Amino acid sequence: MSSASPSTTHDTEEARDRLRRARRVLALTGAGISAESGVPTFRGPQGLWRDFRPEDLATPQAFSRDPLLVWEWYESRRERMGSVQPNAGHHALARLEERVPEFLLATQNVDGLHALAGSRSLVELHGCLWRVRCTGCGAVREEREPFAALPPRCRCSGLLRPDVVWFGEELPRAPLEQAFAAARAADVVLVVGTSALVYPAAAVPEAALEEGAFVVEVNPERTPLSAACGVSLRGRAAEVLPLLVGGGA
């Protein structure tokens, strides 16, 4: 077993071979897979959490204190993300889904790029930036257009909020359960572009390791998960995933 040292051709070949033979695969993605589409990550030198404090913007308390401030931040992210496109990493995962008999993609991302790339067997663990939820009547709807006025309101006059998971909130139960079930059943788990720091999502590959799955990590940096992985490939998702999956443009 190789581990966290710079990845080698041998590691890449082993990961490719494991994926080729696997019948049950779970992919877990984080902000890093969208980095090459131009979506900023949360941590690291250019990360969103360098300039903003999560507790000012991404907590229920922040929203009750100042819904306008929170909405201005989410609208600026929605505006920025409105024009971004999936990259070769997203497309490679959509191709992988087509050839693996049992495949699930669990993403922590709220940018909607996996769906845009054609992934169908997809669960969004942290919600989606393109949906809103009414804090009054609870209705959820897709909303891609910018709002005429902030903070936006529902037809029932309740305050709308982004349908994303904030710090201190529970993750939606069904997607999380699906991710854990897929992790426990998987032959191979592919962990891409996540710092593996935020729980409970970070516990998903841990559950897979406990059940003996082969875990492949793709990340330019080392993470707390790296040492336990079957192979940890140091590289960018948009470059490494097409090598692992093949068949790309």
Q: Which residues bind ligand OAD (CB under 6 A)?
A: 30-33, 35-36, 41-44, 47, 58, 108, 126, 165, 193-195, 197-198, 218-221, 223, 236-237
Which position has the token pair 């992988």?
96
- To ligand OAD, the closest distance from the beta carbon of 64 in angstroms equals 17
Report the run of H or E that residue 77 belongs to, with start and end.
helix 67-81
Q: What tokens appear for 212 in the block?
A: 């003996």
User: Which residue number places its CB atom closest to ligand OAD?
Assistant: 32
- To ligand OAD, the closest distance from the beta carbon of 232 in angstroms equals 11
- To ligand OAD, the closest distance from the beta carbon of 148 in angstroms equals 26
Report yes or no: 157 and 201 within 8 Å, Cβ to Cβ.
no
- Known catalytic residues are 126
Of 214 and 232, nearer to ligand OAD (C-beta) is 232
Closest CA to 129 of 10, 31, 235, 43: 31
Q: What tokens appear for 176 in the block?
A: 């999380």
Of 24 and 122, nearer to ligand OAD (C-beta) is 122
Of 156 and 248, nearer to ligand OAD (C-beta) is 248
Q: Distance between the two ends of the chain, CA-based, in angstroms?
A: 31
Of 180 and 185, nearer to ligand OAD (C-beta) is 180
User: What whole-number distance in Å separates Cα of residue 180 and Cα of residue 40?
Assistant: 27
Provide the H-helix boundaries in 82-194: 88-99, 113-117, 173-185
